[in-house]
Amino acid sequence: VRDETGLLLVGAGHAHLHVVAHAAELRAAGYRVRLLAPRWFDYSGVASATATGALPADAGRIDVRALAAGHGVELVEDTLVGIDTVARVATTADGAALAYDLVSLNVGSVAATHDIEVDDEVVRVKPLAGLGALATRLAAHPGATVTVVGGGSSGLELAAHLAVTRGVTRVRLVEAGPVLGPDLPGGARRSVTRLLARRGVEVHLGTPVRRLAGDHLLLGDGRRLDHDLAVLATGLVASPLLARLGLGDADGVPVTATLQHPDHPEMLAAGDCAHFLPQPLARIGVHGVRQGPVLLAGLLARAHGEPAPSYTPQRRALAVLDLGAGIGLAVRGRWWWRGRTAFLLKRRIDRRWLRRYRSPTPSGAA
Ligand SMILES: Cc1cc2nc3c(=O)[nH]c(=O)nc-3n(C[C@H](O)[C@H](O)[C@H](O)COP(=O)(O)OP(=O)(O)OC[C@H]3O[C@@H](n4cnc5c(N)ncnc54)[C@H](O)[C@@H]3O)c2cc1C
What is the 285 CA–ligand 1 centroid distance (Å)? 7
Residue 270: CA count within 13 A, CB half-sphere: 33
Ligand 1, residues 16, 231, 232, 272: which to mutate, most atoms within 8 A of Cβ?
272
* Confidence (pLDDT) at 366: 38
- The tens digit of pLDDT for each residue in 71-115 reads 999 999 999 999 999 999 999 999 999 999 999 999 999 999 999
Determine phi and psi for 205, rounding to 5 degrees. -95, 160
Residue 292 in 3-state DSSP?
helix
| CA-proximal residue: ligand 1, atom 53 (nearest) | 125
pTM of the model: 0.95
What is the 274 CA–ligand 1 centroid distance (Å)? 12
Which of 240, 272, 238, 241 minimizes the C-alpha distance to 93? 241
Percent over 70 (pLDDT), the chain: 97
* Confidence (pLDDT) at 365: 41
Percent over 90 (pLDDT), the chain: 94
Cβ-contact 188, 180 below 8 angstroms: no
The confidence band for 363, taking pLDDT boundaries of 50, 70 and 90, is: very low
What is the 273 CA–ligand 1 centroid distance (Å)? 9
Q: How far apart are the C-alpha atoms of 236 and 319, rounded to whole Å?
A: 17
- In this predicted structure, the answer to whether residue 46 has a pLDDT above a threshold of 50 is yes
The count of other CB atoms within 10 Å of the CB of residue 117 is 12
Burial letters 272-302, b for 16+ CB under 10 A, else e? bbbbbeeeebebbbebbbbbbebbbbbbbeb
Cβ-contact 286, 122 below 8 angstroms: no
* Confidence (pLDDT) at 277: 98
The confidence band for 129, taking pLDDT boundaries of 50, 70 and 90, is: confident
- In this predicted structure, the answer to whether residue 354 has a pLDDT above a threshold of 50 is yes
- In this predicted structure, the answer to whether residue 362 has a pLDDT above a threshold of 70 is no
- The tens digit of pLDDT for each residue in 139-167 reads 999 999 999 999 999 999 999 999 999 99
End-to-end Cα, the chain, rounded Å: 29
What mean pLDDT do residues 183-197 have? 97
What is the 187 CA–ligand 1 centroid distance (Å)? 28
| DSSP-derived secondary structure letter, 324 | S
The confidence band for 315, taking pLDDT boundaries of 50, 70 and 90, is: confident
Q: What is the mean pLDDT of the chain?
A: 95
* Confidence (pLDDT) at 2: 57
Q: How far apart are the C-alpha atoms of 152 and 316, rounded to whole Å?
A: 18
The confidence band for 11, taking pLDDT boundaries of 50, 70 and 90, is: very high
Q: Please work out, in degrees rounded to the nearest 5, the angle formed at the alpha carbon of residue 204 by the alpha carbons of 334 and 196.
A: 55
Q: How far apart are the C-alpha atoms of 35 and 101, rounded to whole Å?
A: 14
Pocket of ligand 1 (CB under 6 A): 10-15, 36-38, 41, 44-45, 47-48, 79-80, 106-109, 125-126, 154, 157, 239, 241, 271-273, 283-286, 288, 319
Which of 330, 294, 271, 313 minimizes the C-alpha distance to 19? 294
- CA 353 → CA 14, 181, 286, 296, 349, distances in Å? 10, 26, 11, 18, 6
Closest atom of ligand 1 relative to the 42 alpha carbon: 49
Residue 146: CA count within 13 A, CB half-sphere: 34
| CA-proximal residue: ligand 1, atom 49 (nearest) | 41
Q: How far apart are the C-alpha atoms of 33 and 24, rounded to whole Å?
A: 9
- In this predicted structure, the answer to whether residue 364 has a pLDDT above a threshold of 80 is no
Which of 150, 189, 142, 151 minimizes the C-alpha distance to 170? 142
Residue 65: CA count within 13 A, CB half-sphere: 6
- The tens digit of pLDDT for each residue in 241-271 reads 999 999 999 999 999 999 999 999 999 999 9
- In this predicted structure, the answer to whether residue 200 has a pLDDT above a threshold of 60 is yes
Closest atom of ligand 1 relative to the 40 alpha carbon: 49
How far is Cα of residue 33 from the mean position of the Cα atoms in its chain?
Answer: 23
